[in-house]
Chains A and B, each alone.
Chain A
Amino acid sequence: MKNKKQRSLNVLMNILLILYAVFALFPLIWMLLISFKSDTEVFTTTFLFHPTLANYQEVLLRSDYVRYIRDSVIVAGGAVLVSIIVGVPAAYALARYNFPRKEELAFQILSYKFAPEILVVLPLFMIYQKLGLYDSYFGLIWVYQLISLPLLIWVVRGYFEDISVEIEYAAQVDGYSWYQIFFKMLVPLIKPGLVSSALLAFIFAWNCFTFPLILSSNKVYPVTVAIMKYLGTDSAHYGQLAVASTVSALPAMIFALCIQKHLVRGLSFGAVKG
């Protein structure tokens, strides 16, 4: 009797989950469908159409799209790299050392994420113009630290705090220098957190729109902004737009699927202290 009840409950739950999945994935599927449609068929609401690869040929072969992808990779990848180089030592310091105003500093780093991008982007625009950082890889990588650095520092700090100081002491007594301890002992221990937070930071940086829209123009052109190009003032190539969006979503999706397990564990492990 109980089993039957349990089973019907399971079925119900699965139905609800499937409904939610359809709801959540529908925009993506719709985007994928549009990317195979010709411009004349874009607005049909039935699922019947003549699939074509013309949009893909147009975007990938006949436009600068590959360059935009490359720019995105450079900017988002560079941002994450800088965040790792700066953030891991910072997280270590915040976890291990006592110094004046430590918590305030940590909070300040976190607070970079509080303000909406649109709020700070105009002052940044003027500063960037003056400093000559406007429309440069370096400039975008720098401003992306607002997105990636706080995330990385806070996740990795939790990991460092979970590692017993005594492990460092033990290694010191065993004859290792601080650098050896750091790279041989600590880095492997924080790896799950580092990988997951770096990946998330990469996705956030990759998806960032406001900063590159305002702070770059012709020389640096990440995909998020480039997609807009397919919406001209006189014509809207929805098919090409869909292709560009699909392709730009791929790297993040592939990454996330590959390390899905690490992602969940990595982000929940540091937070739960037992």
Chain B
Amino acid sequence: MAGLTLNHIYKRYDNSGKKKKVKNDFAVKDLNLVCEQGEFIALLGPSGCGKTTTLRMIAGLEEITDGEIYIGERLVNNLHPKDRNIGLAFEDYAMYPPLNVYGNVAFNLRAKGVDKSEIDRRVREIAPLMQIDDLLEKMPVKLSGGQKQRVNIARAIIREPELLLMDEPLSHLDGKARQAMRTEIKRLINKIKCTTVYVTHDQLEAMSLADKIAIINFGVLQQFGTPTEVYDDPVNEFVASFIGEPPMNILETTIIKKEGTFFFTFSNSNLEIAVPQRYYSVISDGFRCKMGVRPMDVLIGGPDSQGTPEKIATFENLGDERRIGIHVGDILMMLITEDEKRYKRGDIIKLEVRGEKTHLFDITTGDRIREKK
């Protein structure tokens, strides 16, 4: 087992074949990551952001335009994938159709020329761990998506890799199988304690599985930190809106000063939210920025609340929580409540926003505006 270090990684695709010149032709730009031994890292971002490319570069399936990749102390830039001692679990399973499950799992060991009895011992050891004991004789076409993914992961870990790479392993599974498999992966990783890089576009997977999350957009690393850090302390608007379900409400706001107190105000809306004291050093009357607040930090006030009365625009009952949408200007602001009451469209509620939980973002760059310490 070993850590992983990415040092100023660049990936540029040769676009000469395409008719249209692509402006931003760096798939990955100056990526730096350090993954400690035994850590579980998630590369998170929207599709096309370069996360899978990054994973393939770590695996050696894609050339690196510039930069250095270390697995442990070894510089692996010029090593063939097979010499990097990695396990790779693929998005669409990539099983060899002519081989049965046993053959698929044993394939790598056979390729290495490992002794037959040793192969058998290791397959029998891994099979119960991935719960594929009953499937060993089956052919890949007979398996369900979840089963295929178990086999796929078994195949990746049987070689006892220094580094386990997973490329969106859950994205082809449906809701229930997905959740079950997520728990499964968590259990597995706790057991084998292998350094893991996990690519996903689903923030829920990243939040629930990873020790650290690297959020990537347009090939550029936005933030790298623990799930709590990226959730509570996003560095910019992109991270704030990407993490969390439903996403953070982000609204353009003008700050005005009334009798010594600053308020967030919004165009075409009566809503006013008091600006927390800590921001007073960085704002002024008439300051324009974006305000972000998570749906659970927007509350419904009681009968004697001082909150602004607002009309409910949407109401979704999800069973254990209820989501309410309210128009603030043109933006639909979401809030989550555990209130048992059945609201309906058009009901008036008093809105209270926990001002201390708000974040400020620069109106043009989207960077976080932090209070001065």
Contact of B111 among A99, A100, A174 (CB under 8 A): A174
Query: Looking across the interface, which residue of chain B has its beta carbon closest to that of A188?
Result: B98
Judge whether A118 is part of the interface by a CB distance below 8 angstroms. Answer: no
Once A99-B17, A169-B88, A170-B88 are accepted as A-B contacts, the answer to whether A185 and B82 lie under 8 Å apart by CB is no
Per-position 1/0 for B1-37, Cβ under 8 A of A: 0000000000000001110000000000000000000
Q: Tell me the A64-118 residues at the B interface (CB within 8 Å).
A: 98-100, 102
Report how many residues on chain B are interfacial, defined by Cβ distance under 8 Å: 27
Judge whether A48 is part of the interface by a CB distance below 8 angstroms. Answer: no
Assembly CA distance A167 to B108 (angstroms): 13
Assembly CA distance A102 to B96 (angstroms): 28
Contacts of A98 in B (CB 8 A): 17-18
Which residue of B80, B90, B112 has the most chain A CB atoms within 10 A of its CB atom? B90
B108 touches A175 (CB 8 A): yes
B98 touches A169 (CB 8 A): no
Contact of B96 among A99, A169, A185 (CB under 8 A): A185
A172 touches B82 (CB 8 A): yes
A175 touches B86 (CB 8 A): no
Assembly CA distance A176 to B110 (angstroms): 11
B94 touches A166 (CB 8 A): yes
Contacts of A170 in B (CB 8 A): 88, 90, 94, 96, 155
Assembly CA distance A169 to B81 (angstroms): 9
Once A100-B17, A189-B97 are accepted as A-B contacts, the answer to whether A176 and B90 lie under 8 Å apart by CB is no
Per-position 1/0 for A166-210, Cβ under 8 A of B: 110111111110000000010011000000000000000000000
Contacts of A8 in B (CB 8 A): none
Assembly CA distance A167 to B95 (angstroms): 7
Per-position 1/0 for B120-145, Cβ under 8 A of A: 00000000000000000000000000
Assembly CA distance A166 to B156 (angstroms): 13
Assembly CA distance A125 to B1 (angstroms): 69
Judge whether A164 is part of the interface by a CB distance below 8 angstroms. Answer: yes
Judge whether B91 is part of the interface by a CB distance below 8 angstroms. Answer: yes
B111 touches A169 (CB 8 A): no
Query: Looking across the interface, which residue of chain A has its beta carbon closest to that of B94?
Result: A166
Assembly CA distance A102 to B80 (angstroms): 29
Closest beta carbon of chain B to A138's beta carbon, Å: 35
Contacts of B331 in A (CB 8 A): none
B111 touches A175 (CB 8 A): yes
Judge whether B92 is part of the interface by a CB distance below 8 angstroms. Answer: yes
Query: Looking across the interface, which residue of chain B has its beta carbon closest to that of A98?
Result: B17
Closest beta carbon of chain A to B167's beta carbon, Å: 8
Contacts of A166 in B (CB 8 A): 90-94
Query: Looking across the interface, which residue of chain B has its beta carbon closest to that of A176?
Result: B111
Judge whether B238 is part of the interface by a CB distance below 8 angstroms. Answer: no
Contacts of B61 in A (CB 8 A): 169, 172-173
Query: Looking across the interface, which residue of chain A has its beta carbon closest to that of B167?
Result: A166
B17 touches A173 (CB 8 A): no
Once A98-B17, A100-B16, A102-B17 are accepted as A-B contacts, the answer to whether A175 and B94 lie under 8 Å apart by CB is no
Closest beta carbon of chain A to B141's beta carbon, Å: 12
Judge whether B315 is part of the interface by a CB distance below 8 angstroms. Answer: no
Contacts of B16 in A (CB 8 A): 100
Contacts of B88 in A (CB 8 A): 169-170, 173
Judge whether B343 is part of the interface by a CB distance below 8 angstroms. Answer: no
Contacts of B96 in A (CB 8 A): 167, 170-171, 185
Assembly CA distance A99 to B14 (angstroms): 10
Which residue of A99, A102, A169, A176 has the most chain B CB atoms within 10 A of its CB atom? A169
Once A100-B17, A173-B81 are accepted as A-B contacts, the answer to whether A164 and B59 lie under 8 Å apart by CB is no
Contacts of A164 in B (CB 8 A): 90, 92, 94
Assembly CA distance A167 to B86 (angstroms): 16
Closest beta carbon of chain B to A8's beta carbon, Å: 40
Judge whether B279 is part of the interface by a CB distance below 8 angstroms. Answer: no
Contacts of A171 in B (CB 8 A): 96
Query: Looking across the interface, which residue of chain B has its beta carbon closest to that of A166?
Result: B94
Judge whether B107 is part of the interface by a CB distance below 8 angstroms. Answer: yes
B92 touches A173 (CB 8 A): no
Contacts of A176 in B (CB 8 A): 82, 111
Closest beta carbon of chain B to A160's beta carbon, Å: 14
Assembly CA distance A16 to B176 (angstroms): 51
Closest beta carbon of chain A to B58's beta carbon, Å: 11
Closest beta carbon of chain B to A161's beta carbon, Å: 14
Of all A-B residue pairs in the complex, the 10 with the closest CB atoms, nearest first, are A175-B82, A166-B94, A170-B94, A166-B90, A174-B108, A173-B81, A175-B111, A167-B94, A100-B17, A98-B17
Question: Can you identify 8 A-B contacts, CB atoms within 8 angstroms?
Answer: A98-B18, A100-B17, A172-B81, A173-B59, A173-B82, A173-B108, A174-B111, A175-B108
